[in-house]
A and B are shown apart, each in its own frame.
Chain A
Amino acid sequence: MSEREELPYKISMLGPTRVGKTSIVASMLHGGEQMLIGSSVTMSAGDPRTERLIALTVQGLQGALKAGAFQPESLRQTNEPQHFTLLLDSGVPGAAVRFDLLDFPGGWLNPITRPEGREQDWQECLRFIKESSVLIVPVDAGVLMEAALQEYKRAWPAILRIADVVKVAGDWAAGRKVAGEDEPALLVYCPVKCESYFDDNGGRIDRSEELFRRFHDEYGEVIDRVRREYGGVDQLYCPVDTIGCVELRSAEWIPAGVDEGSWRFAPTFQLRPEALNGNATLAPKGVDDVLAALCRHLMEARQAAEKLSAEGADSAHDQARELADRSEGIFRDLVLWLTRERARRHQAEWEAGARAKEVRGRVDALDKVVRDIADRPLGHRARGL
């Protein structure tokens, strides 16, 4: 439980290295900032480390854009687990939602490729995943769309780590079920680097149906496994442009390692024509849907938790506490957070003056922002699964 008493909202990101997970986080921050312009609520990096990581990522991207063309694999990469924190903040201490995101190296999913001596770190990752009520699975859209040969397609499971994703996502879904039939869970599949496959963000060719078909063919096993483990998981398909002003130039498939059929995907991107005249600005797309899904999930969880811990109902309160104790996920955090929120409201009612009014206003504003974002209809890119 956070010392700062914000509501911790744990999100695990599950995907291979280099797929662009940090870029998703950066885009979420950018998207959140844009959405909240004009409100008293802000979205920001929750800690200096996150702020630095995101700044480095954005700086790297902007450098690449200046060059006109770039290969994503040349951008900064890490093989260490990364914790990101984004804060949806009302400004009132404790009245904030803290998005805790864990990005761990894809290779760690497999005991064979997991580096030796990092067992403890992996256990911590597993604990975090278990406590996460949201799983984000980034998918490299180029890998799916630029595989022209059968042997490239046959390399998909290895490149996308499908077997590992099936196992981890399946275990995570099973864990949600244990938490309780009513606890909402969300799994968001995020195809990234989609700039060349949609025509709604500067692109001219719409290949979105083909992308979805290929995604569904390849991730169908994950979707089915999760559904079988826990039908309460809301599975969502949200393709994202994390840069926006680029398009695919070409892509090579390079033999990787000594194993036959082992390939590395190496795309090259270039600026769109309209960005060549010095107008290269980041224009992410689709991340709004991810944020909306997260907020919707949060609202649903909150409603469920509130029902269980209704004020003045001792038995219900006890029931909620019991569930919170049992739960390792959002319910526990929500119940505790709601309890403290009520306390703050009570205190504000007893306190007189402008300060109390402002506190109430900000708490309500956060509430409203989350609700507003949750109520936004999903864009045309997103699909329920």
Chain B
Amino acid sequence: MTDVQRRIDALLRARGTQLPAVRVELARWSNVQAELDQLASALDALRNHPKTPDDARAGLVLEQAAELRAAAAGLVEACRVVETRFLRPTINLGVSGVARVGKSTLLQRLTGLGEDQIPTGSGIPVTAVRSRIFHSTVHRRAVIRLHTEQSFLDEVVGPFHDQLGLTARPATVEEFRNWTYTEPSATADPRPGEVEHARRLLSMQRSLDSYAGDLVGGERVIDDLTRLRPWVAYPTNEELNAGQPAARRYLAVREVRIDTEFPRTAVAQLGIVDLPGLGEIDPKAEEQHVAGLRNEVDAVLVVKRPIEGMAFWGDKDVKALGLIDQARGRIRDRRDFVALVVNRAATDLPELVANLTDDIRRQVNAGVDGRFLTVYSADAASTEEVLDGLLEPFLDALAGRLPVMDRQVLDGLEEEATALAARINAALGDIRSALQQLQRSTVAPAENLDQRVDRLRKHMASDLGAYRDELTRLVEGEQDDKDFVVAVEAGYQDIVDWVEGGFDEGHDEWCQEAVLSMADKRNAAPYAVDQLNRIRVEVGRRFGTLDDFFTRRLDAVWGRLVEILRKSSGDLLDGLDGRAGLEGLAALLEEGSEPCPALSQAVADVLDIRLDYRTLLYPRVRGRLIDLLNFEVRNPETGVPKPQITVATTAQGAEILYIFVTGRAHQAAHMIRNALLQETVTPTLVVQAFVEQFDDAFIRSRDSERDFRRLARSYRDRIWPGVYEGIELDDARVARVRRAVRAVDARINEVGTAEGS
């Protein structure tokens, strides 16, 4: 193993160990975003409350809320970029450069690939799709990720429409096929790029048939790399001049990953990323370039070529370097992230080589070689020069600097987080001051609040007690529950109708089926067993309709409780009823200025009542059902199992079996009906138990009195509207703001950053 390899291995391990801390930061700032929203919303509610004094309103606002939120979002994005960096299992080198500088030739030499995978040419551009190429001793293949029709329209066609100022976009591929594009006219004085974009769009439209069938999404694996060219290369000049629309399958491709064994590399975990060419006509080229730099590469090689018209450091180069700087982010030394490659061929004119080299020295490095950028010189067509003169020294330098770059990335993240936390802390300080101002300008609680709370509690106790007594009378009076009886009888009648209708099939068909089955099995038992099982399932299922009754009963109980509570609680539960009413009360208890755990628990418990046939009643009747509908029964005296019935495998036997099965079904239905009706008091008993429990927990539990006072302090003005003037600091709205401030404060001051963990 080479020294470079050892250092890269250590680096990748270190990245793995830093990943959890990065993820913690990512989650933290994602939460801060949401909590800032909640704080802003709580402030809005308090500021707009009619009883908030006017002079206190101005301070009740989160200054620069949008900016803080955007900064938090930026930090989240930065964390994601770092997460991506640390997740990569390879060191990725980006190769950048304008057209015709020999970038593809360089890539061929670095990766050992040829024209079919990385096409080159001296005329018009040939590389249509940029590949990511990874060194692999295991695979030699290309994985092509294809566009769907929609992503093609959104990501390929759409940007051209934008560039051409077309407000509408095709919604389907067919619409694109039939879209009318007008050729730019010289008389209309086209904007810069308009002609080129329009021509590109027209050629895409005309070639649609060549790639429309590939717009299917997903991945396609190509094991034979000699067949890759149509997916990654533009049409040749000959193809363009052939008179027919040229094939453009590359338009269906989102990206290509190639695995292949590199000719020589000091690092096994190496990837080469062909970055989109700068200055290309593609409207999204620059955006994609920066995104690719930021997310995919650890360092960039920018290729220059000393040929006529290009042998100098020009504006395009400055701009390209600017884009690379954008992506560099917190990496302080540009030399760590980017290097120049002068692609110098033996046939190049020496004066042009000198021109370019000198110009770079002057303009880029301020007259001193290597001052701001390292410059490598190699003939891209020469494998030895590329590997020995470029790749090896570059990787060697990179192995030394990557740990530094990673540290700078993390430090940058921490600095950004610290700065944002300071800004948020300042904003929180302002809000705390505003709350203090509010406190000074509001009235003190009235002294008689406690007496009012006691009266409220006694009223509720009395009404709940009356409801309890009512339920107790129902239980002790052993009154039949008429609604329950009706529900049971409906289930019973449903089964009787089903049985008398011949089990959905009718008597004749049932018997015919029985004869066929018995003939097939030479025995009546299997059919009888099936039918008894079917009846057992069906009887249980049809009585399951009792659940509708239970739902209604529970709704009624919850409704009654809400009615009782609403009677004494002002407008606190206005507009709420049944389960929603109790859930509303639970939310109010939760959002109050002080916790009310005893009352909250009482409400949660009563909301948790479950009444249903399967759990409450079925276990009580299951045994009888099984006993009756088992084909084999035990002799009560001997304990020996025997079939309930034996019949001949004839039509007459089927008839007897039908009589037996219908009889058993009737008996099962009747037996279950009676068992259920004898439980008629059970639903009431359960309800009574829960209401008693609620009454005890809500009114008589140890902390009930305390919680009632807390509830009253939170919602005094709603429980006794008009009795108290002004707003009190214990009001739930104030409490909500305080809670939101505390939440943001706790979050941004959490211990544990990417640096510290």
Mark A residues whose CB is within 8 Å of B.
68-69, 146, 148-151, 199, 204-206, 247-251, 268, 270-271, 273-274, 276-277
Q: Tell whether, in the assembled complex, residue A277 and residue B647 are in contact, meaning their CB atoms are under 8 Å apart.
A: yes
Does B666 sit at the interface, judged by CB under 8 A?
yes
Q: Which of A206, A248, A250, A274 contacts B636 (CB 8 A)?
A: A206
Q: Tell whether, in the assembled complex, residue A199 and residue B670 are in contact, meaning their CB atoms are under 8 Å apart.
A: no
Give Cα A271 to B663, complex, Å: 9
CB distance from A70 to the nearest CB of B (A): 12
Q: Which residues of B contact A268 (CB under 8 A)?
A: 666
CB distance from B369 to the nearest CB of A (A): 104
Chain B: CB-nearest residue to A273: B645
Give Cα A276 to B647, complex, Å: 9
Give Cα A273 to B677, complex, Å: 27
Q: Tell whether, in the assembled complex, residue B633 and residue A204 are in contact, meaning their CB atoms are under 8 Å apart.
A: yes
Q: Tell whether, in the assembled complex, residue A277 and residue B656 are in contact, meaning their CB atoms are under 8 Å apart.
A: yes
**Would you mind naming 25 contact pairs between A and B with Cβ atoms under 8 Å apart?**
A68-B663, A146-B674, A148-B674, A148-B678, A149-B677, A150-B478, A150-B479, A150-B480, A199-B636, A247-B667, A248-B667, A249-B667, A250-B666, A250-B670, A268-B666, A270-B659, A270-B666, A270-B667, A273-B644, A274-B645, A276-B660, A277-B645, A277-B646, A277-B647, A277-B656
Give Cα A149 to B489, complex, Å: 12
Give Cα A271 to B677, complex, Å: 26
Q: Tell whether, in the assembled complex, residue A276 and residue B645 are in contact, meaning their CB atoms are under 8 Å apart.
A: yes
Given A148-B678, A206-B636, A249 and B663 contact (CB-CB distance below 8 Å)? yes
Give Cα A69 to B500, complex, Å: 14
Q: Which residues of A contact B633 (CB under 8 A)?
A: 204
CB distance from A65 to the nearest CB of B (A): 13
Return the CB mask of B661-684 against A: 1 if under 8 Å, else 0.
Answer: 001001101100111111010000
Q: Is the interface of A mostly helix, strand, loop or mixed?
A: mixed
Q: Tell whether, in the assembled complex, residue B659 and residue A204 are in contact, meaning their CB atoms are under 8 Å apart.
A: no
Give Cα A276 to B663, complex, Å: 11
Chain B: CB-nearest residue to A247: B667
Does B449 sit at the interface, judged by CB under 8 A?
no
Does B607 sit at the interface, judged by CB under 8 A?
no
Chain B: CB-nearest residue to A69: B663
Mark B residues whose CB is within 8 Å of A.
478-480, 485, 496, 627, 633, 636, 644-647, 656, 659-660, 663, 666-667, 669-670, 673-678, 680
Q: Is the interface of B mostly helix, strand, loop or mixed?
A: helix
The 5 A-B pairs at the shortest CB distance, nearest first, are namely A148-B677, A250-B670, A273-B645, A148-B674, A199-B636
Given A148-B677, A148-B678, A273 and B669 contact (CB-CB distance below 8 Å)? no
Chain A: CB-nearest residue to B675: A148
Q: Which residues of B contact A199 (CB under 8 A)?
A: 636
CB distance from A267 to the nearest CB of B (A): 10
Q: Tell whether, in the assembled complex, residue A149 and residue B680 are in contact, meaning their CB atoms are under 8 Å apart.
A: yes
Q: Tell whether, in the assembled complex, residue B659 and residue A249 are in contact, meaning their CB atoms are under 8 Å apart.
A: no
CB distance from A310 to the nearest CB of B (A): 49
Given A249-B666, A276-B656, A276-B660, A148 and B644 contact (CB-CB distance below 8 Å)? no
CB distance from B175 to the nearest CB of A (A): 68
19 further A-B pairs in the complex, CB-CB below 8 A; given A250-B669, A273-B644: A146-B674, A148-B673, A148-B674, A148-B677, A148-B678, A149-B677, A150-B478, A150-B680, A248-B667, A249-B666, A250-B667, A250-B670, A270-B659, A270-B666, A271-B663, A276-B647, A276-B656, A276-B660, A277-B646
Give Cα A205 to B624, complex, Å: 10
Give Cα A270 to B668, complex, Å: 13
Q: Which residues of B contact A271 (CB under 8 A)?
A: 663
